[in-house]
Amino acid sequence: MKYNERNVLLKAVIFDMDGVIVDSEPLHVKAERETLAPYGIKLEESELQKYMGRTPKVLLEDVIKKHHFNTTIEEIYPVHMKNLLNLYKNEVELIPGVLELITELNSEGVGLAVASSSDKILILSVLEKFHLSDFFKVVVSGEEVKNVKPSPDIFLKTAEKLGYSPGECVVIEDSSAGVRSARSAGMVCVGFRSPHSKGQDIAEAELVINDFSEVNYQILKGLVDGCVF
């Protein structure tokens, strides 16, 4: 990335969902264990961390292959999604401070989007539960792209749907895969150390924060002003 005198105004902020908008990683662990329990499998948290930021389908496909389950992803995934959706509806909570940032960015006229590896039904359930649907004009899920994070596809598709170039967008991510995806897409990235993102390497992000009180519109604008990829 090079810097020059030309200002590139901040046009959009793209939020990951799990671990950024909502504190959902423990629910993913819980759902994965519920789904796999009938098969006698209990994955350790350290193993589950490897899949953080990626679609649950990847984890389940790997587990089926590794343990030679007499099942298919087509059979087990709907069961998993039912478990996960139930947990989201009843237990998921917003990350502290994220609503204030979303509200501020919206008031400044910044375009907002969600780009998450989760299935769209989960994303929409979160937006509905917390009355966020009117803030996010664009929602892209992992189901809509050929290559999931850490490939850049999901962020490039999101920028295209927003109508902005990658250099006009900031991504907020909490996983290694998500940060790599954003940077590969040519976007400025803020790495958020969520309560359950331990072990995630987000050092490649331009800014790393531990709390949403550490970032606002002016800080995000400053990250992209004058940046050329």
Q: Which residues, other chains included, contact 9 with Cβ-Cβ below 8 Å and sequence gap of 6+?
A: 168, 221, 224, 225
Exposure string of 8-41, with b = 16+ CB inside 10 Å and e = fewer, is bebbbbbbbbbbbbbbbbebbbebbebbbeeeee
User: Which residues sit opposite 7 in a β-bridge?
Assistant: none
pLDDT grade, residue 10 (50/70/90)?
Answer: very high
> pLDDT tens digit string along 24-39?
988 988 999 999 989 8
CA–CA separation, 67 and 69 (whole Å):
6
Nearest to 60, CA basis, from 87, 46, 78: 78
pLDDT over 50 (residue 221): yes
The predicted structure's pLDDT at residue 227: 60
Beta-carbon-side half-sphere exposure of residue 120 (alpha carbons within 13 Å)? 9
- Stronger pLDDT, 217 or 57, i.e. the higher one: 217
Backbone angles phi, psi at 83, to 5 degrees: -60, -45
CA 186 to chain centre: 17
> pLDDT tens digit string along 47-66?
777 777 677 888 899 989 88
pLDDT over 70 (residue 114): yes
Lowest mean pLDDT among 51-65, 83-97, 164-178: 51-65
Q: What's the pTM? A: 0.87
- Which structural domains are found in the chain, ordered by start? 2-23+93-228 (3.40.50.1000), 25-91 (1.10.150)
